[in-house]
């Protein structure tokens, strides 16, 4: 049986001191959420982060909170996935980037790779 969102939030806030709120895009996260989870597991370790609903203005699914063990991990997540600014229309939450950093394989080959 799935746990209630309130229990998930309470556990995450007790165990992980740093929270980053991300506004859910109008069309949802789509495949981006799985990319975020994979990056978090690989970069932070599966035991160093959690996510939980973080509704704003009484709407349950308009934001997600990502909880981290330390601020360095949270900052790396924000740099990779968020626009980098908190906007008022998202009620204090970061918005998701629509682009992604280039991979080395996408760069032109100048003969020095």
pLDDT of res. 57: 54
Closest CA to 21 of 102, 99, 104, 57: 57
Residue 107 lies in a domain: no
Can you give the pLDDT at residue 86?
54
**112, part of any domain:** no
Q: What is the pLDDT of residue 1?
A: 44
Smallest CA-to-CA distance from 18 within 78, 63, 91, 62 is with 78
- Does pTM top 0.75 for this prediction? no
Q: Structural domain of residue 22, as residue ranges? A: 5-97
Count the domains in the chain.
1
For residue 28, the model assigns a pLDDT of 85
Examine residue 103 and state whether it is found in any structural domain, yes or no.
Answer: no
Q: Is residue 42 in a domain?
A: yes
Residue 63 host element (H or E): strand 63-68
* 62 occurs within a structural domain: yes
Q: What is the pLDDT along the chain (113 residues), one digit of tens a residue?
A: 456 777 878 888 889 999 998 888 888 888 888 999 999 999 999 999 999 888 655 555 688 899 999 899 999 998 888 865 555 445 667 777 676 666 777 766 666 55
Tell me the residue length of the chain. 113
Is the CB of residue 92 less than 8 Å from the CB of residue 21? yes
The CATH number of residue 55's host domain is 3.30.70
Confirm whether 28 is domain-assigned: yes
Closest CA to 57 of 99, 97, 86, 91: 91
Q: 105 lies in a domain?
A: no
């Amino acid at each position: 049986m799935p746990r209630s969102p309130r229990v998930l939030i309470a556990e995450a806030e007790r165990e992980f001191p740093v929270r980053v709120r991300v506004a859910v895009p109008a069309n949802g996260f789509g495949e981006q959420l799985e990319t975020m989870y994979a990056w978090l597991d690989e970069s932070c370790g599966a035991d160093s982060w959690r996510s939980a609903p973080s509704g704003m203005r009484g709407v349950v699914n308009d934001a997600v909170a990502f909880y981290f063990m330390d601020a360095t991990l949270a900052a790396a997540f924000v740099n990779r996935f968020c626009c980098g600014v908190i906007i008022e229309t998202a009620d204090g939450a970061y918005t998701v980037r629509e682009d992604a950093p280039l991979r080395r394989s996408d760069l032109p080959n100048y003969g020095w790779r």
